[in-house]
Structure 1
Amino acid sequence: MHPVRFLAVLTTLLTTLLLTSAVNAKVEPSAGDATKISDISYSKEQSKTALDIINKLGKRHYITQTLNDNMSSRIYDNYLRRLDGNKSLFLKADLEEFEQYRYSIDDTMNKGDLSPGYTIFNRYQQRLIERLTVTIDNLPAMVGAMNYERDESLEIDRKEMPWPANQAEADELWRKIIKSRVISLRAAKKEESEIAPLLQKRYQNQLNRVQQSTSEDAFQIYMNSMAALYDPHTNYLSPTTSENFNINMSLSLEGIGAVLQTEDEFTKVVRLVHAGPADKQGQLQPSDRIVGVAQGDGEIEDVIGLRLDEVVKLIRGKKGSTVRLEVIPVSAKTDDEHAMIEIVRDTVKLEEQSAQKKVLDIYHNDKLSKIGIIDIPAFYIDFEAMRKGDPKYKSTTRDVSKLLSELIEEGVDGIIIDLRENGGGSLQEANQLTGLFIEQGPTVQIRHSNKQVYRDGKRSSSRYYQGPLVVLINRLSASASEIFAGAIQDYQRGIVVGTQSFGKGTVQSLTPLKQGQLKITESKFYRISGESTQHRGVIPDIEFPAIYDKEKVGESSLDNALAWDRIDPIRHRRYFNLPAIMPELKAKHEERLKTDPDFIFLNAQLALLEESRSISSISLNEKTRLAEQEEDKAKALLIENQRRTAKGLEPLASLDEEDQDVEKAADEESDKADKEEEDEDEIDPLLTEAGHILMDALPVYGVKKVATNP
């Protein structure tokens, strides 16, 4: 992670807008025709498709589950959660009526009868349209009657709360929800006269989309309420969704460089493309949810509920143009907390997507040392060029092999492989890259749903880099990254440092259905030690403070993720006795952290973030909320200035000044001349500490400190 982005991540994680309030206006249901909607029903083709899905899940999924009463109950709960997860639309009476379906969904689904799901969906549509219509009609009066001094609170997460007992309770809940959004707009310095019209427009857009819901929408939600119980990567893709499957924002042409996916009604950032415009700008983060898009200085267009391809079209644009994204940050405590991010679109250059090298000079034990850094953003290979016999085809392994040779010629003391934010890619490349660091042997085991295990690795002996090695990972290192890091750790070939990796250890395939497609998990990755990378990921030998919240980012944060387990290990060589020196390495690492300004700062910020996570409700008194916000800002400013003072930098008067510094540095990063001149404040503290750990480990490598060309 670039140092500018490193600081921006920390700033984003602590930036919260917890402003909500209340109003005394009572909401009455509208009697207008706008609340009426025709019930939708399922087709014969959808009935056949449901049976096809049940059959394929039963025969081909990695785990075996039976569609029985127990699973019926789970489908029922999951379906309600997907429709009304915040428990703000259905009433207690609705749930009492629906309860008859809890243990009968298995019986009806096995017959191709989808009526329970459609009955619930139609009631959901009715409740939502009624609520939106009432809200639109009453917004001006509600805003005008708000009492900002009233002491009351709003639950941040209602997932464990009961549904409203009656209409009056539902009205009261929505009064608070709407007031929360009004105060958020007031805090954003919106003119009072603009607030009601702006909210009315948002709700009207949502109402328009709801009224366009089709049978396909209901079917997809209902089927995925079952499919997702197998694991979070098993999904039914409707015909429309199938057309747009794998739409991503990697934008090899012109855009912002972000991979997106749809989650409920939101467009969620999965990952950022290395060296892309969003990555360089530094504010957009994985798991942020995009709720609005604007072109340049234009008006924000609400994108909640839009199809993924429609959102992609709004975000894409010509090189040099500006797009503004309104997002709910991953650090947000409520969905009302929004941030504006401005990104200049650009071409994502192919060379910036490839592995890159640099030399890091650090003073270790009062001696200048040279550490070779190889940053690998993805595991890539040009399959087409390889099949055509192009001797210069690009691949991760070929590029890294060349970089290794160059660094060895430059006389580096050791190598750090930086896999942070590397979401994976080609399994073949993960295996071959491992082969650059071991003489011969297996690298991964793949266990299929039929329990057969396939092993892959470096089959013949050849030259390899034998010198000191550290692998740096974080929570966004996933899939192929985890295979490589796990193999290096199992062979005791190098030291893995950083934070627990993502935990994506499953393999999916697409299979056609009567209508649409089914993405189904059929295999699972295992390390040569027999341990799965699934769910647990790779645990570093030496752990750094975790920037990303494991409760929100990573496989373990996903509902119904397959569990970690193990199979038989493979006999393999241990290159060095790294466990023997690990206690000493950890002790030296901990000692450095006590005085390192950046790590002290990071730990202090993470402590503040952990404190905020324990809050279950927020005050709806505006003065109280503003005071709490200022107190949070003061704490953040204090620890930032402690870091700056320790590094000999000028203290800041406010966090806004820091934001300007980060933005300025991000702009300078795009300038090649400035990019080459990194001052002390731009040093990546995590990379530097990884270098110190490598130097501490030199004795265990003995005479092999001098590297051998691969």
Structure 2
Amino acid sequence: MIADNNEIRYLNENNSDLNIDPFVPQEENITKNQAIEQTIMMMIKNGHYAPKMIDDQFSKKVYDKFLELSDYGKLFLIQSDIDEFEKYKFSIDEEIKEGSTIFYDLVSSRIKQRISDADTFYKEALLNPFDFNGNETIELDGKKLNWAKDIDELKNRWKLSMKYRSLARFEELIEQQKKSTNKKDKDKTEDQLEIEARESVKKNMGFYFKRLNKISESDRFASYMNSICHVVDPHTDFFPPKDKQRFDEEMSGKFYGIGAVLQSEEGNCKIKSIVVGSPCWKEGHLKVGDVILKVAQQNEDPVEIAGWDIEEIVSIIRGKDGTLVTLTVKHLDGSNEEIIIKRGKVEKDETFAKSAIIKEGGNNIGYILLPEFYADFQDAGGRRCAVDMRNEIHKLKEEKVNGIIIDLRNNGGGSLQDVVEIGGLFVNKGPIVQVKSKSENAQAMAVRSNEALYDGPLVILINQASASASEILAAALQDYNRAIIMGSTSFGKGTVQRVFPIDDFFQGNKNLLPFGSLKLTLQKFYRINGGSTQLKGVTPDIKIPDLYHLIDIGERRDSNSLVWDQIAKAEYKPIVSLVDFKDLISKSNKRISSDPTFDLIEKKRVPIKKTIRKQFLFIESIEI
């Protein structure tokens, strides 16, 4: 999970970690957006670990970021729009201080207008056949494009984009025709396939624009506020109420619904998969491939959901534990059925720790995959990764494994408290990480147990998408000499966030609520040797070539990231190992350098990087 990469601490209901006065608006007629903006900025100013100066440079960064979020591909706005916006480039800081949203209001209004214009451009472009025989190029990276100088140039961009998409679909249809055994498909001419390709693109674009037109004012303003928050630092985030709920579900690995994964496909809502043990799995009638036609709440009339956005469908199928929902579905055989399902707790199994035993050369090696450092912040009795890790290690010890590998690749972080407890499974009493607030000295978070659960050979796997809590664990075990770290240099995130309800910090018109939540960077964490993982990450003892090593990810790519620094080391004693780590690492590196498989990976890196940019597909799936 690299989209978030956030280190989250447990929440206290009294918000004692943010000891600031609430925002009291002076204006009687303050709008909801203005109230959200001013409350968030007050929280950042008084609570953030390293708040930025709100000046012209800050304004320019917000300006650039919001326009990038609003129209990354440069397919909506034109140069005259940008010329009009330019006068606000260095005055957004003044707007923030005054509680004004003039720049946001202007851009938001213009984007809505340009989306309406583009809705006609793509349809016009798809009216007539395309000639795929000429030589044309298309730039898919908006950062490399200038803004279209006028409407005519914008129309041409849409035509080229539709031609590109139609060509991609045309090639897919050609390949399908080659593999088909159906005479009707085999007899189709290229002209017929070209028409079919354009019709397919037109249908998908229709769904895309329908979603664009359904973007709410709340979501648009959230994008603007996050443009501001991300200039402060990449991990300070504003969550509107529904996004906060989604965040909690990601962190806990559970939600309440029926336990099916939905996929939006050409306007239909299909069942992509069913979670084993979930309410719909137990009920038994819902099948993979079924199309949902209608949804009815308990004692209410059914609602037809054809053409709905998938998130809208999810919102009416999920609900409180024990309540009923009725789905009218069309099965693969063409028959329709009404299925009544009692909602219940659904756990995302892919979130949780799992173990296996690898048998190699007469040895049994334990393997534990930990996808994230999950914890249920809303339920004290909910699942926590530290408890699950302890259980998995117990299982492996009972099997008398000769060593354990913990796979933290692509683990973007999670609960700070849990990573400390997991560290304690491998080292005796001592510090795991140092945490520093802006106005306090660093404090060590230490293991309380006097005896580690497992003291055998240990390997930690990391890669560039291993962030935050993953880096804490890998760094601590590396500093203690307790484990060998293998893989590629980690993400480089060394900051700690807390999530606060914004409503608690607003004293004004309660009719404007709810506002949502703010995830705020409050602290930095440091290795027990005094170094920081911020920007630099954790360097593995044994570097393993990675196909995606050249992809530009990591904290260091963001100019708004907090700086690297170091503090005094904590009091700890590295473990004196019976194994010569240096000799082991040297031999491993020699084996890797002479292995033809890794040599092939090195040669494949650049071609893979060149093909990493792909056409956006209008297909998405969400669990319900």
Do Structure 1 and Structure 2 share a fold, with TM-score over 0.5? yes
TM-superposed deviation, 1:504? 3.8
| 1:414 counterpart letter in structure 2 | G
Q: Is the alpha carbon distance of 1:417 and 1:235 closer, same or farther for their aligned partners in structure 2, counting shifts above 3 Å?
A: closer
TM-superposed deviation, 1:356? 4.5
Matched-pair contact (CA < 8 Å) for 1:379–1:396: no
TM-superposed deviation, 1:490? 0.5
| 2:486 counterpart letter in structure 1 | V
TM-superposed deviation, 1:222? 2.0
Matched residues in 1 for 2:34 and 2:102: separation?
A: 10
**Corresponding residue of 1:165:** 149
Q: Is the alpha carbon distance of 1:403 and 1:481 closer, same or farther for their aligned partners in structure 2, counting shifts above 3 Å?
A: farther
* 1:489 lines up with 2:478 in the alignment: yes
In structure 1, which of residues 162, 176, 179 is the aligned counterpart of residue 160 of structure 2? 176
Moved more, 422-431 or 107-116: 422-431
| 2:562 counterpart letter in structure 1 | L
Q: Is the alpha carbon distance of 1:172 and 1:383 closer, same or farther for their aligned partners in structure 2, counting shifts above 3 Å?
A: closer
Alpha-carbon displacement from aligned partner over 1:528-574 (angstroms, at most 9, x marks no partner) = 11222334332211111224456355444567343433222113212
Matched residues in 1 for 2:86 and 2:118: separation?
A: 23
Moved more, 200-209 or 43-52: 200-209
Q: TM-score, normalised by structure 1?
A: 0.62
In structure 2, which of residues 213, 226, 229 is the aligned counterpart of residue 227 of structure 1? 229
Stretches of structure 1 lacking an aligned partner (at least 5 in a row):
1-41, 261-274, 278-293, 325-346, 619-710
**Corresponding residue of 1:58:** 45
TM-superposed deviation, 1:421? 4.1
| 1:418 counterpart letter in structure 2 | D
Q: Is the alpha carbon distance of 1:138 and 1:609 closer, same or farther for their aligned partners in structure 2, counting shifts above 3 Å?
A: closer
Matched residues in 1 for 2:364 and 2:136: separation?
A: 59
Matched residues in 2 for 1:405 and 1:91: separation?
A: 64
**Corresponding residue of 2:22:** none
Matched residues in 2 for 1:296 and 1:315: separation?
A: 20
* 1:437 lines up with 2:426 in the alignment: yes
Matched residues in 1 for 2:172 and 2:481: separation?
A: 53
Matched residues in 2 for 1:422 and 1:531: separation?
A: 21
**Corresponding residue of 1:131:** 118
Matched residues in 2 for 1:386 and 1:194: separation?
A: 55
Alpha-carbon displacement from aligned partner over 1:64-93 (angstroms, at most 9, x marks no partner) = 212111111111111111111122222222
| 1:468 counterpart letter in structure 2 | P
TM-superposed deviation, 1:112? 1.7
Matched residues in 2 for 1:489 and 1:383: separation?
A: 29
**Corresponding residue of 1:373:** 367
Moved more, 442-451 or 71-80: 442-451
**What pairs up with 1:575-614 in 2 under 5 angstroms?**
575-576=575-576, 581-582=581-582, 584-593=583-592, 596=595, 598-612=597-611
Matched-pair contact (CA < 8 Å) for 1:132–1:207: yes
**Corresponding residue of 1:285:** none
**Corresponding residue of 1:564:** 564
**Corresponding residue of 2:359:** 361
**Corresponding residue of 1:526:** 526
| 2:118 counterpart letter in structure 1 | R
Q: TM-score, normalised by structure 2?
A: 0.69
Q: Secondary structure at the match of 1:437?
A: coil
Matched-pair contact (CA < 8 Å) for 2:402–2:457: yes
In structure 2, which of residues 278, 284, 289 is the aligned counterpart of residue 296 of structure 1? 289
| 2:446 counterpart letter in structure 1 | G
**Corresponding residue of 1:395:** 387
TM-superposed deviation, 1:489? 0.1
Matched residues in 1 for 2:526 and 2:610: separation?
A: 36
Alpha-carbon displacement from aligned partner over 1:218-255 (angstroms, at most 9, x marks no partner) = 42222222111112222222345445553549467765
In structure 2, which of residues 166, 170, 174 is the aligned counterpart of residue 186 of structure 1? 170
Alpha-carbon displacement from aligned partner over 1:603-646 (angstroms, at most 9, x marks no partner) = 44434314546x9x99xxxxxxxxxxxxxxxxxxxxxxxxxxxx
Q: Is the alpha carbon distance of 1:307 and 1:525 closer, same or farther for their aligned partners in structure 2, counting shifts above 3 Å?
A: farther
Matched-pair contact (CA < 8 Å) for 1:380–1:395: no
**Corresponding residue of 1:89:** 76
Q: Is the alpha carbon distance of 1:118 and 1:533 closer, same or farther for their aligned partners in structure 2, counting shifts above 3 Å?
A: same
TM-superposed deviation, 1:487? 0.7
**Corresponding residue of 1:119:** 106
**What pairs up with 1:624-639 in 2 under 5 angstroms?**
none
Matched residues in 2 for 1:304 and 1:380: separation?
A: 34
Alpha-carbon displacement from aligned partner over 1:399-451 (angstroms, at most 9, x marks no partner) = 145235324xx3x4433333334444443332222223222210011122334
**Corresponding residue of 1:289:** none
**Corresponding residue of 1:102:** 89
| 2:422 counterpart letter in structure 1 | L
Matched-pair contact (CA < 8 Å) for 1:441–1:457: yes
Matched residues in 1 for 2:397 and 2:549: separation?
A: 37
**Corresponding residue of 1:453:** 442
Matched residues in 1 for 2:87 and 2:205: separation?
A: 33
Q: Is the alpha carbon distance of 1:157 and 1:563 closer, same or farther for their aligned partners in structure 2, counting shifts above 3 Å?
A: same
* 1:551 lines up with 2:555 in the alignment: no
**What pairs up with 1:73-88 in 2 under 5 angstroms?**
73-88=60-75
Alpha-carbon displacement from aligned partner over 1:649-699 (angstroms, at most 9, x marks no partner) = xxxxxxxxxxxxxxxxxxxxxxxxxxxxxxxxxxxxxxxxxxxxxxxxxxx
Matched-pair contact (CA < 8 Å) for 1:232–1:559: no
* 1:512 lines up with 2:502 in the alignment: yes
**Corresponding residue of 1:156:** 140
TM-superposed deviation, 1:186? 0.5
Q: Is the alpha carbon distance of 1:314 and 1:585 closer, same or farther for their aligned partners in structure 2, counting shifts above 3 Å?
A: farther
Q: Secondary structure at the match of 1:184?
A: helix
TM-superposed deviation, 1:295? 7.1
Matched residues in 1 for 2:208 and 2:331: separation?
A: 22
Matched residues in 2 for 1:90 and 1:516: separation?
A: 30
State the identity %. Answer: 31
**What pairs up with 1:249-288 in 2 under 5 angstroms?**
250=253, 255=259
| 1:588 counterpart letter in structure 2 | K
Matched residues in 1 for 2:410 and 2:215: separation?
A: 37
Alpha-carbon displacement from aligned partner over 1:512-543 (angstroms, at most 9, x marks no partner) = 14533322221222211122233433221111
| 1:540 counterpart letter in structure 2 | P
Matched-pair contact (CA < 8 Å) for 2:549–2:605: no
**Corresponding residue of 2:267:** none
Q: Is the alpha carbon distance of 1:48 and 1:488 closer, same or farther for their aligned partners in structure 2, counting shifts above 3 Å?
A: same
* 1:469 lines up with 2:444 in the alignment: no
Matched-pair contact (CA < 8 Å) for 2:49–2:438: yes
**Corresponding residue of 1:502:** 491
**Corresponding residue of 1:269:** none
**What pairs up with 1:618-697 in 2 under 5 angstroms?**
none
Matched-pair contact (CA < 8 Å) for 1:90–1:163: yes
TM-superposed deviation, 1:206? 3.8
Alpha-carbon displacement from aligned partner over 1:15-58 (angstroms, at most 9, x marks no partner) = xxxxxxxxxxxxxxxxxxxxxxxxxxx96232222211221111
Stretches of structure 2 lacking an aligned partner (at least 5 in a row):
1-28, 175-192, 264-273, 277-286, 294-304, 320-324, 333-344, 507-514, 616-624
Matched-pair contact (CA < 8 Å) for 2:432–2:528: yes
Q: Secondary structure at the match of 1:562?
A: coil
Alpha-carbon displacement from aligned partner over 1:352-377 (angstroms, at most 9, x marks no partner) = 866554443333xxxx4443434444
TM-superposed deviation, 1:137? 4.1
Matched-pair contact (CA < 8 Å) for 1:504–1:535: yes
Matched residues in 2 for 1:212 and 1:55: separation?
A: 31
Q: Secondary structure at the match of 1:153?
A: coil
Matched-pair contact (CA < 8 Å) for 2:44–2:520: yes
RMSD: 4.6
Q: Secondary structure at the match of 2:470?
A: helix
TM-superposed deviation, 1:207? 3.7
Matched-pair contact (CA < 8 Å) for 1:79–1:221: yes
Matched-pair contact (CA < 8 Å) for 1:431–1:456: yes
| 1:420 counterpart letter in structure 2 | R
Q: Is the alpha carbon distance of 1:431 and 1:305 closer, same or farther for their aligned partners in structure 2, counting shifts above 3 Å?
A: farther
Q: Is the alpha carbon distance of 1:544 and 1:48 closer, same or farther for their aligned partners in structure 2, counting shifts above 3 Å?
A: same
Matched residues in 1 for 2:290 and 2:347: separation?
A: 26
Q: How many residues align?
A: 511
Q: Secondary structure at the match of 1:228?
A: helix
Matched residues in 1 for 2:111 and 2:517: separation?
A: 26
| 1:47 counterpart letter in structure 2 | Q
| 2:502 counterpart letter in structure 1 | P
